[in-house]
Amino acid sequence: MVPFTDETGARRWKALLESAGPELALRALEVPDAARARTVGEQVEHHITHLTGVEEGTRRDYRRMCERDIVPQLGPVPVTALSYDAVAAWVNGLQRRGLSAKSIRNRQSLLSAALASAVRDGLVGTNVAKGVKLPRVERPEMTFLTRGEFARLHELVPARWRPLVMLLAGTGMRWSEATALTVADVDFEARTIQVRRAWKHTDGAGHRLGAPKTTRSNRTVALPTACRADLEELVEGRGPREFVFTNTRGGPVRHPTFHEGVWTPAVHAFAGDRRRVVREGRGRPRVVWDEVGEGKRPRIHDLRHTFASWAIADGHSLTAIQRTMGHESITTTSDRYGHVFRADRDAFADLVAAPGVVRGIGSRA
């Protein structure tokens, strides 16, 4: 065992032993110059500090992610002593703690990017976080509404919020985009809407306006005819920088408030569920829905999927749908909605004609 040459080195090894366990601590003693190497915690912080092209809110999120989920187990480990097995054990630990598959992927991605920076800078030879198997992210099943179903759901939404719901279904915009629209973004003469901003939620820093999700998300979409009259009435007499949709106090519309107070009651009523009021002690009564109905229970985001299904049914191309919805790649559009193209799929059943028909075609040629 290599002796410690100073108190700092001994303290670092003690912290490593307590956080990462004896296996990694002993490994660090066997790696040359590990005592002087940058630790994982220091490397991730270095990586975050020197990131370019990111907003400060994103940088804060990364630091909080590192502090909560990387540093406690891997922080004191010298990057030169970190192993694939140690990263795999860390991922398994996150899973046992109950983190979602998406959250685990986000944290592993941050660690891997930081180690890739270490490889680039010549601190380590390989990125040991690369290729670690991660839990699969289960994409929520999409719910598509027919036009008739949407009309019934729309009627169950309080009148104040129907223009917003109609716009979401009529344009395929994301919630974060639609609620960020200002009066200046809507051109009634040209019958277009400019999607230039979106709300972003930063953990610990609240909501802020920023660029849409992807480069192609910055786009122009058609103003649906069904939305025009309501929107004209909504923005009449208001300044160009004011939001199109506001809450009852005139501020931005927030997803949690809308979801709980508007969307949830409408969807449960649409599905045919039973509403109960529960009183517990001296607290305020709460509304509970018993899911006894047989109808659909779409999420707000399913209005975007519904728009795509209507566009496909009306014969619009994947390219046109991609551009309207702001997908970065047509592959995203195809992977997400390709299964909806039933008419295209079924058409292949008759691609090859029966032998007699083939001979007939040949004789006519």
Q: What CATH number is given to the structural domain containing 37?
A: 1.10.150
Backbone angles phi, psi at 222, to 5 degrees: -75, 140
Average pLDDT score over the chain: 84
CA dist 217 and 344 (Å) reads: 27
User: Does residue 244 fall inside a structural domain?
Assistant: yes
CA 186 to chain centre: 26
Are residues 159 and 65 part of one domain? no
**pLDDT, tens digit, 9 for 90 and up, residues 129-149:** 999 999 987 777 899 999 999
Are residues 222 and 111 part of one domain? no
Are residues 107 and 214 part of one domain? no
Number of domains in the chain: 2
Give the per-residue pLDDT at 155.
97
Give the per-residue pLDDT at 323.
92
Are residues 162 and 115 part of one domain? no
Is it the case that residue 343 has pLDDT exceeding 60? no
Q: Which amino acid is at 257?
A: T
Backbone angles phi, psi at 332, to 5 degrees: -60, -45
What is the C-alpha end-to-end distance of the chain, expressed in Å? 88
Are residues 270 and 157 part of one domain? yes
Q: Note whether 149 and 271 are within 8 A (CB).
A: no
Q: Which of 275, 290, 305 is the last residue of a domain?
A: 290
User: Does residue 295 fall inside a structural domain?
Assistant: no
CA dist 116 and 353 (Å) reads: 56
Query: Looking at residue 70, what DSSP letter applies?
Result: T
The pLDDT-based confidence of 52 (bands split at 50, 70, 90) is confident
Are residues 80 and 33 part of one domain? yes
CA dist 36 and 34 (Å) reads: 5
User: Does residue 357 fall inside a structural domain?
Assistant: no
Domain coverage including residue 254:
147-290
The pLDDT-based confidence of 365 (bands split at 50, 70, 90) is very low
User: Does residue 217 fall inside a structural domain?
Assistant: yes
**Within 10 Å of residue 356's Cβ, how many Cβ atoms?**
8
**pLDDT, tens digit, 9 for 90 and up, residues 170-210:** 999 999 999 999 999 999 999 999 999 998 865 545 677 88
User: Does residue 201 fall inside a structural domain?
Assistant: yes
Are residues 163 and 239 part of one domain? yes
User: Does residue 65 fall inside a structural domain?
Assistant: yes
Q: Which of 77, 104, 120 is the last residue of a domain?
A: 120
Q: Note whether 48 and 59 are within 8 A (CB).
A: yes
Are residues 164 and 92 part of one domain? no
Nearest to 151 by CA among 259, 303, 309: 303
The pLDDT-based confidence of 337 (bands split at 50, 70, 90) is confident
Q: Which of 74, 105, 120 is the last residue of a domain?
A: 120
Are residues 155 and 41 part of one domain? no
pTM, to two decimals = 0.68
User: Does residue 53 fall inside a structural domain?
Assistant: yes
Which residue matches tokens 């809110």?
57
CA dist 187 and 222 (Å) reads: 10
Is it the case that residue 281 has pLDDT exceeding 50? yes
User: Does residue 310 fall inside a structural domain?
Assistant: no
Are residues 98 and 182 part of one domain? no
Are residues 163 and 104 part of one domain? no
Q: Note whether 332 and 322 are within 8 A (CB).
A: yes
Mean pLDDT of 335-364: 57
Are residues 286 and 151 part of one domain? yes
Tell me, what CATH number does 218's domain have?
1.10.443
**pLDDT, tens digit, 9 for 90 and up, residues 10-51:** 566 566 666 666 666 566 555 666 566 788 999 999 999 998
